[in-house]
Amino acid sequence: MQTKSISDGWLTLSRKCESPHFNQRPEGAKGEVSLLVIHNISLPAGQFGLPYIDQLFQGCLDVEADASFCELEGLTVSAHFLIRRDGEIVQYVSCDDRAWHAGVSHYDGRDGCNDFAIGIELEGTDNCKYTDLQYQQLRMLTLALFDAYPMLNVKTIVGHSDIAPGRKTDPGDSFDWQRYLTSLVG
């Protein structure tokens, strides 16, 4: 297995699917990458392996494709990464830029987590078990991010629910935090 690394904000050996939904991080310490946020996503909800997540993050989602998509019309959102259920890693935004994944958020006395966070989406739902391949790839990606961004470590990893409590619930009860965090230190 080839080792993946971050070069100029991009993960080597991953599928690149650039999103227009990003901007530059703020200058100085406010924009230093110091938080990793784990999310989940599926479009339509609970369905996997379809092209709609790429379309959403690229701003070209066909809102007629599913009745549930009407609420997504005009939404400008992205993440840095998506890990699909088969383990494929897709990158949408350079880690050096600000992806629009956290929304209204707060962590450790700071608002606007997009300014200083990297967002990883797992294809899944709050109550559907994630795959072994997703955990393997998440571990590999996290370690590559640790190497590239020295302020990241196991203590700076949170769920979307942690930075937007009451508004977000992902990655949900189905995410095995102990398995993931233990794999990073073992």
- Which residues does the annotation mark as catalytic? 121
The β-bridge partners of 123 are 41
Compute φ and ψ for 159, nearest 5 degrees.
-90, 160
The CA distance from 93 to 99, in Å, is 6
C-alpha separations of 28 from 60, 103, 117 in Å? 33, 21, 14
Give the separation between CA 50 and CA 67, rounded to whole angstroms.
Answer: 15
Helices (H), 36-104: 52-58
Rounded CA-CA distance 177/4 in Å is 22
Residue 84 token pair: 């699909």
